[in-house]
Structure 1
Amino acid sequence: MSKLPLIVGFGGINAAGRSSGFHSYKRMVSDVLTDQDMASTWQDLAHRMGLSEGSASDPEVIEAIKAGTLVRRIESFDPDSLRYQYKAALNGGQETISFSLRKSKMPSRIPENWQVEEQGSKVKITVTGELNALLEDRVSFPVTSGGNIPTGFEPSKLYNSRFHPRGLTLSVYGASDALNSLGLDWEEVLKHIKPDEVSVYAGSALAQIDDHSLSGMLAAPLTGGRVSSKMMALSFAEMPADFINGYVINSVGTTGTSMGACATFLYNLRQGMLDIQQGHSRIAIVGNAEAPVVAEVMEGFRVMGALAEDAQLKALDDSDTVDNRRACRPFSSNAGFTMAESAQFVVLMDDELALEIGASIYGSVADVFINADANKKSISAPGVGNYVTVAKATALAKAILGPEGVKQTYVQAHGTGTPQNRVTESHILNEVAKTFGIDNWPVTAVKSYVGHSMSVAPGDQLISSLGVWKYGWIPGIKTIDHIAEDVHQSNLNILTDHHFAGEHGEDYKAVILNAKGFGGNNASSLVLSPQQTMAMLAKKYSNEKISAYCNKNEAVSLQAAANDKAACGGEETIRYHFGENVMDETNVEITADSIILSEFAKPIPLATENPYADYS
């Protein structure tokens, strides 16, 4: 029997706020939750944004929180004053051009039309003819909408993050938040498993791309900057996993990242799921971090026609002003997607270990399906692969839940807010709904709240889904006021308002997360509710085992709640252990059947039997 990968912890940060404690989810549905439910979330955001040290119940503070969260005007750079340089050939006509430079700034190759005269520590240069130059300017960027993390919050200030790219500071924060949500001490958890029974699959589809990493390194020779020794190393796409292993969890287990454009989180989720199902690992930390709200990166997407530009949004609204808050409009009249930053991580655990240590169960990953598009006319155009992944996920839901149970599912759509996506994805979902006898399949799209975080986008969907099974509301697409005429919806219920899903979301036994990545990277995952997961565990394990688990979980749940309460008040643990408990060759003992590492309680077994004996 395959082991069921249970979701026992989750954390991160996006435009809606902190993920653990369901706070980012609660921000999305704040208008339907009670004041009591929202109090801790307002407090958490007020602290995080530097707005209040108290209970954050002041209406003015709450309004400031709302203004500084979700999709809004870009804050990571000034769209009205973006630095830009133009190439120019200066010519003094019949006269020469003269200027002074420090000797240290002189080019190594002196142009033939330069006359150089030393003047102490400087030189006077006289140019005859043309002088090639770069002229600095300030321009307005055509896109002003983005999904920055909450205004004023800087994860880099919470630990010693000197010269870390923003994507890596988000990774450290997100992984720490996920571990804090466990309600279990990580070092104690490690005592229950072998050192190599932890998998970490985490990365960034666009790699690290700010001034401290790839972008700064490539631009330095042309902008007068300096390439540091860290830039190249910290630019790699798998660096979030490397940081988590080396500085957060002290792991010698399996590591890496799979990359599939905007479906990347689900690619990594599949890797972690398979490791647990096959018994290769007992714990898998899965996630992604992306910080692409960078003008140069956004320009690349803009010239492809992918982003919603201000002029287009104004035209949609017949207005002279841009509505940044409503920039992303899935399944409605729209213009493009909205770039966002985010970090999301989940902790998966095999069912036996979770019951043994009393870990909280937020749901389980039934499967992740990945399929390509086959032959294409354009690498960026959608294809047939997503029909395959959605159909597979839905068929599995029917196999697990039955022909009536499959109707108790809903869809977290990719929902980018582009004209092409609204047609192609709605057709896929509608055809699958018809095939499986689903008459009114609920469909939502959380990018309307937090924007498109590229590789992390399915992680934003998953974290939102876990909140549904806590507070009972599926977030509706509230940035739209109508469904576009070309959207297929005969068997769909595209939610334009929050949809009540039962007291703890019990009306829905599972959710399908859907992602359509650039280049034909399609992925769909079936995630089961905590109630459905517990029902399945009750069939596998005895009543005594389940009862013992529930008793253990009481203390774990209390500790997780205490960790969340502390974080809301500004006392959260950021795990970053640089240079601590470092092992070298003196800490390794190798025998014929095991490896013993000094910092771990249990040895790593080595193979003693031929796994391919049947072929010998």
Structure 2
Amino acid sequence: MKAMPVVVGFGGVNAAGRSTFHLGYRRLVEEALPSEKRNEMITALAALSGMSAEDYSTAEAFESAVLENSLIRKIGAEHFDVDHAPGMKRVELCTAKQAIEFTMKKRDLPAQLPDSWTIIGEDKAGIRLSASDLNALLPTSRKMAVSTAGTVPSGFDPAARYSSRHHPRGLQLNMFAASDALQSMGIAWSEVMAHINPDQVSVYSGSAMAQLDDAGNGGLLRARWQGDRASSKQCPLGLVEMPADFVNAYLLGSVGSTGAAVGACASFLYNLNLAIEDIKEGRALVAFVGNAEAPVNPEVIEGYAAMSALATDDNLCKLDGSEQADHRRASRPFADNCGFTIAEGAQYAVIMADTLALELGANIHASTPAVYVNADGFKKSISAPGIGNYLTLAKSVAFARSLLGRESVEQRSFVQAHGSSTPANRVTESIIFERVAKAFGIENWPITAMKSYLGHSLGVASGDQLMATLGVWADGIIPRINNVTEIADDVYQEKLDYVTAHRNVGVDGIDVAFLNAKGFGGNNASGVVVSPAKTMSLLAARHGEAKLAQWQERNKSVAAQSEAYKQQILAGEDVTQYSFGEHVVMDEAVEISEFSLSIESYARDVSLDIENPY
């Protein structure tokens, strides 16, 4: 019997705030929440942003400011000034027919003078030169065509929460998210490690775009052309798998399997797939799965805008017949739309083998039994959608039917659509939904799309979907597709039910959710997430009611520890865990014998009694 992967912890941050304890999800459905949960969400969001009710004249003004501080909105000055984005202007100062003379300090002279430059003298002011055919790059600024993004709540600074010297923003978000997920478990990491071998941990995380700000690859590639020097940090910290490396080295101290599977917008599901396979095959008993992206900078935005992929201010105005772009409504999946909205964020899920979860009394939020990944095959444009998503979604639905039965799939399932808000996506994804629904006898299949609130966080996007899905089982509400009242005429709708108003389905009304991702290059993935109620039924069938009763007793203390962390969050007293230079393991800490390897400070040994599988 293969192990079943269950979700025992989760955390992260996106435009809705922090994901832990469904706080970010509740920002999406805040109008439909009971007052107690709504107030708790606002308290957590304010604490994250550093906002205080004492700074506002009324409670209503405070709540309004907290809510306005989140979700998709105009890019704030903490990122860059969208109306005066810095750049360079190429200018021709003179031609061969009209030479100019100028003076430079000796230390500023190029190592090799351009052919058109001639030194004509030297005085106290410096070296006098004559030049013809002289071109220059001059600093300037210009208004961005795109001024909207899904940025984390204004006032939240991940760098201020730990010693983040020279770290790119993506890695700062990554450490916050991974630490958040770890602490949400309610089980000390040392307790987990006492029950498993050191190599029975997997960490899979990365960044689809790598680290492109000044502290990473962005600064590395710009340095030479801006007359600067690359630092010793930029090259290594810019690597695509660095989020996983940081979790291993500075959070968990893991010596287990690691890496990053990068598949554009499907990257989170690619990493989840690796974790699931490790747990099913017994290579790991616990896995950290995540992604982190920080693409809200002028260069990345202009790159996607050049593809006509983003919703520009001008196109939003044309869409609405207005003179002012409605930044809040920039993302409109499956409606009349004009491009996606870029976003930043980081998400982590802690996945554990069911046997270990029961043994430790872990919180069980859901199970993630399967992810399917398929390419598009032959295609013309590498960035255009293809047929691979037919395979991933159809196989996911077929698997869920096999695991849970027809009734769960046909009557108690829903889809977290990729829903990027591009004209191409609304057609190419909806036709897949319609044809799969017809093939499996599904009527009125609920479809929702989180990018309508959060924007497109690239490799993190399916992590955003997962966090929102876990919230559905906590509060029983499927979030509507935001900003959408009418579905576009070219969207396929037969057998489908696009959720345009928050839908109360009850905490037990959904058995299974399908997370769908369609990435540039032909990277398609669909994931199966099973509700906590159905997961417990499966565990009872696998292990018996007695084992579940024992788990329930153990879970009491774990749930209490999780609640204690939640109270820290609400009080603004939570801390990002980061262990730099602590517990460092050197060569002398390793002891090797014929059939085992021991590491000082690790409770158990690594087995070297390896069977020949061939």
After TM superposition, the score normalised by the length of structure 1 is: 0.97
Could you tell me how far 1:94 is from its partner in structure 2?
Answer: 7.2
| Pairing of 1:598-609 with structure 2 (within 5 A) | 598-609=600-611
Q: Is 1:460 the equivalent of 2:472?
A: no
Distance in 2, matches of 1:287 and 1:55, equals 36
Could you tell me how far 1:249 is from its partner in structure 2?
Answer: 0.5
Could you tell me how far 1:95 is from its partner in structure 2?
Answer: 6.5
Q: Is 1:221 the equivalent of 2:188?
A: no
The equivalent of 1:320 in structure 2 is 323
Q: Is 1:65 the equivalent of 2:59?
A: no
Q: Is 1:268 the equivalent of 2:268?
A: no
| Pairing of 1:167-186 with structure 2 (within 5 A) | 167-186=170-189
**Of 392, 403, 418, which residue of structure 2 is paired with 1:414?**
418
Could you tell me how far 1:136 is from its partner in structure 2?
Answer: 2.1
| Pairing of 1:61-210 with structure 2 (within 5 A) | 61-75=62-76, 76-91=79-94, 96-112=99-115, 113-115=117-119, 117-120=121-124, 123-210=126-213
Q: Note the alpha carbon deviations across 1:539-577, whole angstroms, 9 max, x for none.
A: 111222111100111111111011011012111131110
Could you tell me how far 1:93 is from its partner in structure 2?
Answer: 8.6
1:380 is aligned with what amino acid? S
**Of 359, 362, 365, which residue of structure 1 is paired with 2:365?**
362
Determine helix, strand or coil for the equivalent of 1:539: helix
Q: Note the alpha carbon deviations across 1:407-457, whole angstroms, 9 max, x for none.
A: 210000000000000001000001111111111000000000000000000
Check conservation: 2:203, 2:257, Cα contact below 8 A: yes
Check conservation: 2:105, 2:127, Cα contact below 8 A: no
Name the stretch that deviates more: 535-544 or 90-99.
90-99
Distance in 1, matches of 2:551 and 2:96, equals 86
| Pairing of 1:184-583 with structure 2 (within 5 A) | 184-407=187-410, 408-502=412-506, 504=507, 506-583=508-585
The equivalent of 1:17 in structure 2 is 17
Could you tell me how far 1:166 is from its partner in structure 2?
Answer: 0.4
Could you tell me how far 1:47 is from its partner in structure 2?
Answer: 1.7
Check conservation: 1:430, 1:491, Cα contact below 8 A: yes
Distance in 2, matches of 1:558 and 1:290, equals 32
Determine helix, strand or coil for the equivalent of 1:196: coil
Determine helix, strand or coil for the equivalent of 1:525: strand
Check conservation: 2:202, 2:286, Cα contact below 8 A: yes
The equivalent of 1:40 in structure 2 is 40
2:467 is aligned with what amino acid? I
After TM superposition, the score normalised by the length of structure 2 is: 0.97
1:15 is aligned with what amino acid? A
Could you tell me how far 1:99 is from its partner in structure 2?
Answer: 3.6
**Can you give the 5+ residue segments of structure 1 that lack an aligned partner in the other structure?**
none
Distance in 2, matches of 1:216 and 1:128, equals 31
Distance in 2, matches of 1:203 and 1:242, equals 9
Distance in 1, matches of 2:575 and 2:565, equals 9
Query: RMSD over aligned Cα, in angstroms?
Result: 1.5
The equivalent of 1:51 in structure 2 is 51
Distance in 1, matches of 2:11 and 2:109, equals 51
2:68 is aligned with what amino acid? A
Determine helix, strand or coil for the equivalent of 2:30: coil
Could you tell me how far 1:196 is from its partner in structure 2?
Answer: 0.6
Distance in 1, matches of 2:45 and 2:533, equals 30
Query: 1:356–1:73: structure 2 CA closer, same or farther, 3 Å change rule?
Result: same
Distance in 2, matches of 1:303 and 1:521, equals 21
Distance in 1, matches of 2:34 and 2:407, equals 32
Matched residues, number: 609
Could you tell me how far 1:55 is from its partner in structure 2?
Answer: 12
Check conservation: 1:98, 1:124, Cα contact below 8 A: no
Distance in 2, matches of 1:43 and 1:310, equals 33
Distance in 2, matches of 1:118 and 1:579, equals 53
Query: 1:265–1:609: structure 2 CA closer, same or farther, 3 Å change rule?
Result: closer
Query: 1:59–1:97: structure 2 CA closer, same or farther, 3 Å change rule?
Result: same
Determine helix, strand or coil for the equivalent of 1:130: coil
Distance in 2, matches of 1:94 and 1:354, equals 79
Could you tell me how far 1:54 is from its partner in structure 2?
Answer: 7.1
Distance in 1, matches of 2:408 and 2:514, equals 13
Check conservation: 1:9, 1:362, Cα contact below 8 A: yes
Distance in 1, matches of 2:61 and 2:455, equals 25
Check conservation: 2:450, 2:465, Cα contact below 8 A: yes
